[in-house]
Amino acid sequence: MLARCVALLIAGLAITAAASASSWPERPVKLLVGYAAGGSTDVIARLIAPRVADALGKPVIVENKPGASGDLAGELLLQSPADGYTLLLSTVAMHAINPGLAKVRRFDAVEDFAAIAMVASYPMILIASPQSDFRTVADLQTLSRKSDVFFASSGIGSPGHLAGELFARALGTPLTHVPYKGERPRWWR
């Protein structure tokens, strides 16, 4: 699956290069990631970067620019010259979630970007410590009616945050959101 996604990405980049007057790339390519190092988007970027670099014959440098659920990296991409030397590995948050949550954005997530390839998809899962007081969703629902239950996410407005809020509604009970500054800090405290 990863090999197919990398091939699509390289093909998209080749089309971009063909449209350019000069031979591209002539120097390293920067790949912006709008999330903290160690999270899933960063891991994917670091998995594909060497393969894309091999295909292009130039280094692909992953640069983490976390903030605003990916929007900061999107803004940085749009401030960069439109020469193909700065790319963005983005998520559903920047393009589908943030437009509905943010009152003010400095860009239009649909109009201001050109998609090259879908690189990955991932499921959302519910996990708990083996020392927790529940083993099933029904146990969690019962516990949440008796005491506070917390859920962590990689940040306010993140897919995990919204999934947790939807899950709380489905349970019919409040769950307290604990936002972290990225995925890695959420897992490794």
Instruction: Flag residues of the chain having pLDDT under 50.
Output: none
For residue range 96-149, list pLDDT tens digits in order: 888 888 888 899 988 999 999 999 987 888 888 899 888 999 999 999 999 999
* pLDDT score, position 127: 85
What whole-number percentage of the chain has pLDDT above 90?
55
Extended beta strands in the chain, E state: 29-33, 60-64, 86-89, 150-153, 176-179
Q: Is 186 exposed, middle or buried (0-12, 13-18, 19+ CB in 10 A)?
A: buried
Predicted TM-score (pTM) above 0.85: no
CATH topology of domain 2-101: D-Maltodextrin-Binding Protein; domain 2 (3.40.190)
Query: For the domain with range 137-184, which CATH number is right: 3.40.50.150, 3.40.190.10, 3.40.30.10, 3.40.50.11540?
Result: 3.40.190.10
Taking CA atoms, 157 is separated from 26, 98, 99, 102, 145, in Å, by 38, 7, 10, 9, 25
Residue 60 forms beta bridges with which residues? 29
Q: Do domains 2-101 and 137-184 have the same CATH topology?
A: yes
